[in-house]
Structure 1
């Protein structure tokens, strides 16, 4: 039993070491970007990502008169979704090859554990930053994430919008969502460099809370929606961003840096666990010998 407690304690210690190693890593290598030669070499952000990010404009009013097209092809105003309940806003583009899907997966996964109902307690508003996206693209994404969410009866609470550049820019400027168009694998400007975030919005259309990254705490989201429903504005969060940016497989510098850090962290964890278990086994053996010696002397 004592040995099992020793082993279990060793694994717990190893998990702690791993968590401590991974936590700073996410802040350092959270960008999906290629590392080019010159001033952007190493693990620095590419120059183009200097224009990308999320500035938290808490209490900022969204442009509710901005015109979009919903997934059914109907023209709507952003304000059509406000007045009664709060909303979760996310800015993505529907052909995004990486980060947008991770963001939407994280959102739908968190909402599965939030005991509130889209369309009744809040709305989910997804706006594409790509003016080339179509209502059909939005309808396809809505069908996918509604199925993933597992509650088709909440379809009226999910809205996938497309629009033209003036309306998109009005929303992204209000949110503080900085992004730039970049070349895709074919060399054409078909992709976007952007960061990942979702925003909670009050029933009056004011930004109440930001959640950054691609994984969201259901508990925090529930609390945030309850507070936003009362028009309460939250506080800024730590500005650790996850970027989406075209990766150049020819340079491969960024992935090598990540791999080396992970390999080093693994080696340190294994070595630490082995040393910890060795010391604990030695301690158990010594206590056993001392106990036997004491019994012999008293016998």
Structure 2
């Protein structure tokens, strides 16, 4: 009897969990909303949110970046972009330091890859990280440099890492030259504190022309090493597949999950429902088989 009660409770709990997952799945579907276009309860769309249509990467190979752009480095000194060119190639990364999502993953991926590259920053190439947020400060840039230099594990290469901040004009000119699209969006508090953008780094020749793009947040050490060799020889690479990773997984205006997160939630719910369904079918069949076995009288023992 206790075994039957236990199985009944297990089945009931499984059904309740399944019902909850169905509700979560329908809620996730209802909450998908391209930025400013869909409202709660409207059918979900597989189209990119409108804001992401401007957050693109246009590969402008062989384009000269503006070397006269003025920025402030992590020590608080005013510098020109051209100060970092003339001798060796560079890796350029456009991010913003207060980014709550993708930017740190991009820099983590870059540092992890560079650990396995035989070339060293400051000797063979430079790493130039530029904030796209004109409100960020050199103090914040210095904190980021300290963090990633420690993660890289070679403090002697500090002179090859440059974390810059700047004004809107210099940032926009650099972003336009590299084809880096970004859009300022409201944060959860309603203030304009976040940016929607895609993730990419650029390899630059010693004279500041774009040699190669690498998209995403993980980078092949072999590709980076070969790309640095080609960039140092002033060679221009080929366009790569434009498979973009976006730094925009949250709809701050509507305070709801965006299309990407909702799709992940839906997939997880479907997988869990399938597993629960399979478990319930096996348990029900096992219970029915046992019930049939126990319902047949043992005539031989009865006669004996």
> Same fold by TM (over 0.5)?
yes
Aligned partner of 2:55 in structure 1 is 52
Query: Is residue 40–residue 47 contact of structure 1 (8 Å, CA) maintained in 2?
Result: no
- 2:214 corresponds, among 204, 211, 236, to 211
SS of alignment partner, residue 161 of structure 1: strand
Which structure 2 residues correspond to residues 2-17 of structure 1 after superposition, within 5 A? none
Unaligned 5+ segments in structure 1 are 1-32, 270-299
Larger Rg: 2
For residues 230-278 of structure 1, give each alpha carbon's deviation from its aligned partner in whole angstroms, at most 9, with x where no partner exists.
0000000000111112614854463332133356579999xxxxxxxxx
Which structure 2 residues correspond to residues 72-151 of structure 1 after superposition, within 5 A? 72-151=75-154
Query: Is residue 88–residue 123 contact of structure 1 (8 Å, CA) maintained in 2?
Result: yes
- 1:154 corresponds, among 136, 148, 157, to 157
Unaligned 5+ segments in structure 2 are 1-31, 276-304
Query: Is residue 69–residue 163 contact of structure 1 (8 Å, CA) maintained in 2?
Result: yes
Deviation (angstroms), 1:150: 0.7
- The 1:92–1:250 alpha-carbon spacing in structure 2 relative to 1, beyond 3 Å, is closer
For residues 90-133 of structure 1, give each alpha carbon's deviation from its aligned partner in whole angstroms, at most 9, with x where no partner exists.
00011111110010000000000111100000000000001101
Give the TM-score normalised by structure 2. 0.73
- The 1:34–1:146 alpha-carbon spacing in structure 2 relative to 1, beyond 3 Å, is farther
Matched positions, count: 237
Aligned partner of 1:171 in structure 2 is 174
Q: Distance in 1 between matches of 2:274 and 2:244?
A: 27
Aligned partner of 2:238 in structure 1 is 235
Aligned partner of 1:184 in structure 2 is 187
- The 1:251–1:136 alpha-carbon spacing in structure 2 relative to 1, beyond 3 Å, is closer
- 1:258 corresponds, among 264, 267, 270, to 264
Q: Distance in 2 between matches of 1:90 and 1:268?
A: 42
For residues 157-203 of structure 1, give each alpha carbon's deviation from its aligned partner in whole angstroms, at most 9, with x where no partner exists.
00001110111011000000011110111100011111100000000
The Cα RMSD (Å) is 2.2
